[in-house]
Structure 1
Amino acid sequence: MNILAEMLLNEPAPMAIWAALMLLTLPALVVLANPEGVRNPRLALLETANFVRRYRERREARRARWRAEVARTARYAQEVRVAATRAAGAVERWQRHWQATADRVDAAGAVWREADARWTRSRAAAAFGAPWTPQDPAEYASRERFLHERVRAAVSRNELPVSALADVLAGRAGWDARLHPVEQELVVHRAVAEHLERVYRAAIAAERAAWHDVQLARRGRDSLRREAALAESRASSRTVTDLDADRAVRLADLHHGRA
């Protein structure tokens, strides 16, 4: 490429002047180059004007398509970037949720271990046997009140489910109000330890599920970030391509003019 061509491609003002000169001289060149144009210059000028009009329309259509494609690519890149930002926020929320479940695991484990130790102590005390008490209606009523109070207190501390109170009032699910208070205490401590162990195991399962969700959210966020970077790269390359294509059109016009 010579110096003149390079200047025309890079500087818009010389190119505009060159194009204007070409448009002004093109009708005369067409008339002189075509014998029919010499005999009928009016027809030749009309054909030239139509040719120039169609050329401009095609050129503008190409540029419009390029601009539309660049706009679509940039819009897609922006949408993916927004989605990646939202995914990052979702990861933070899932991490907070997972941390909360992990804290519940620690708390449930501590409560269960304490209840299990209490049950162990109750078993050791029950090994000596329950003291003798008279077995009369008043004693049975006292034992029943004792059991109900112990279960109600455990339910209020969330050491037993609410359903346990209904079971003990109905005398089902292993609850026996006729047992000695020492034996009833052992039964209550065992039920509390077993229930809190189930709560602890459920907390572990919830923590694992929450961690799995965190991992999924992270993978989704990372995938969207990679897609956003790729889309932004494509949008930048499309912009450069649009500029290069416009220069290519200028070069083609220059070659046609020189021909």
Structure 2
Amino acid sequence: MEKIFYYFLIDVPRAMTIWAVLMVLAAAATVGLIMRPRHSGTGTADLAAEPGGPGPDGATPVGAEPALRAEEQRRRALASRALELHRYAEEVTVAAERSAVTAQRRRDEWLTAQEEAESAWQAYEAADVAARRVAAAAVLPEPRTPRTPAEYADRERYLHRAAMAACTRKELSVLQLSDALAHRNGWDPRRHPVEQEIVLRRTVRDSLFAAHRAATERERAAWRDAEVAAEAARSLREEAFAATAKAEEFRRWLPSSPSAGSTDGTAGGANGRVRPAVRWRAARAG
């Protein structure tokens, strides 16, 4: 306890003395800084001494002109690039609109081909029903008629009239009508009218079935063309939207111009940014 009391009596006054000396030194330094004389001409001299700042008479130093020219060239290049992006966005937008028109036309063609295929199928079904009904009469014995030149002439006239009527209803093609009138490819005017009707109905059914298959192929081709056109329109719309957004973002981040205008067709706005002389507008995506 005696040692502790001794150290307390010796060390505490020593520490207090050190802290008092430090506080006095700090106060003296503060007073010296406050009372230091101020020089009024240092501001102008410092500004004149800066490499990029104006001189005492407000003129730009000669050494700063290359830096200003480089900055102006960079600003003009950025403005030109922004204008190119905007023109590209407009061109892609026009292409997207034309592609959308083409896609709509292809879709209309596909709908028309689909209707034609449906009509061809319905015609084939009706011809098939008629062929089956006439074929059912073939089980009956053929009527006996006199084999005279007048009878054969009547049979020939019947064949010609039936073939022309079927061609008028678009059940037979012109080539098939020519074969019937010329008695080629299975067309025999000496047959009984019942046999001629059976042959005619079967030929009509086969012809309409071939027409239905051709219409189906046209419908499938039109569907493929419509899908390709729609995909191209979607791709161009996305490209137009991306190009428009890129152009607007590039223009928004152009550096500010120190002058009110420039000689390259650009002018500074109220906020000091360089903008092309043309009017900017948002490009539609189609």
CA RMSD of aligned residues (A): 2.2
- Which residue number in structure 2 is paired with residue 152 of structure 1? 164
**Matched letter for residue 25 of structure 1:** P
Distance 2:164 2:228 in 1: 43
Of 105, 127, 152, which residue of structure 2 is paired with 1:93? 105
In structure 2, distance between residues paired with 1:130 and 1:234: 84
How far is the alpha carbon of 1:149 from its aligned partner? 0.6
More helix by share: 1
1:182 to 184, 194, 205: 194
Give the 5 Å matches for 1:98-113: 98-113=110-125
Where structure 1 has 5 or more consecutive residues not aligned to the other structure, the ranges are 1-20, 29-44, 249-259
**TM-score normalised by structure 1 residue count:** 0.75
Paired position in structure 1 for 2:153: 141
Q: How many residues align?
A: 207
**Cα deviation code 1:46-75 (max 9, x no counterpart):** xx44x4443333222111111110000011
Q: Which residue of 1 aligns with 2:235?
A: 223
CA deviation profile, 1:7-34 (whole Å, cap 9, x unmatched): xxxxxxxxxxxxxx94343888xxxxxx
2:109 corresponds to 1:78: no
Equivalent residue in structure 2 for 1:165, among 173, 177, 200: 177
Q: Which residue of 2 aligns with 1:239?
A: 251
TM-score scaled by structure 2? 0.68
Distance apart, 1:204 and its partner CA: 0.9
The higher radius of gyration belongs to 2
Preserved CA contact (<8 Å) 2:131 2:198: yes
Q: What's the CA shift string for 1:151-188, capped at 9, x where partnerless? A: 01111111100011211122111111111000000011
What residue in structure 2 maps to residue 25 of structure 1? 56
Unmatched 5+ stretches in structure 2: 1-51, 259-286
1:247 shift after superposition: 7.8
- Quick one: which of 57, 60, 81 aligns to 1:69? 81
- Identify if the C-alpha distance between structure 1 residues 197 and 190 changes in structure 2 by more than 3 Å, giving closer, same or farther: same
Q: Are residues 1:191 and 2:222 paired?
A: no
Instruction: Tell me, in whole angstroms, the C-alpha distance in 2 between the residues paired with 1:221 and 1:197.
Output: 36
Alpha-carbon separation, structure 2, partners of 1:239 and 1:22: 29
Rate the CA distance shift 1:26–1:66 in 2: closer, same or farther, 3 A.
farther
* Residue of structure 1 in register with 2:20 after alignment: none
Whole-angstrom distance in 2 between the partners of 1:136 and 1:23: 126
Percentage of identical aligned residues = 38
Which amino acid is 2:218 matched to? Answer: A
Query: Aligned partner of 2:116: which letter?
Result: R
Q: Does 1:120 align with 2:132?
A: yes
Provide the rounded CA distance (Å) in 1 between the counterparts of 2:167 and 2:110.
27
State the alpha-carbon separation in 1 of the partners of residues 150 and 99 from structure 2. Answer: 67
Match of 1:214 in 2: 226
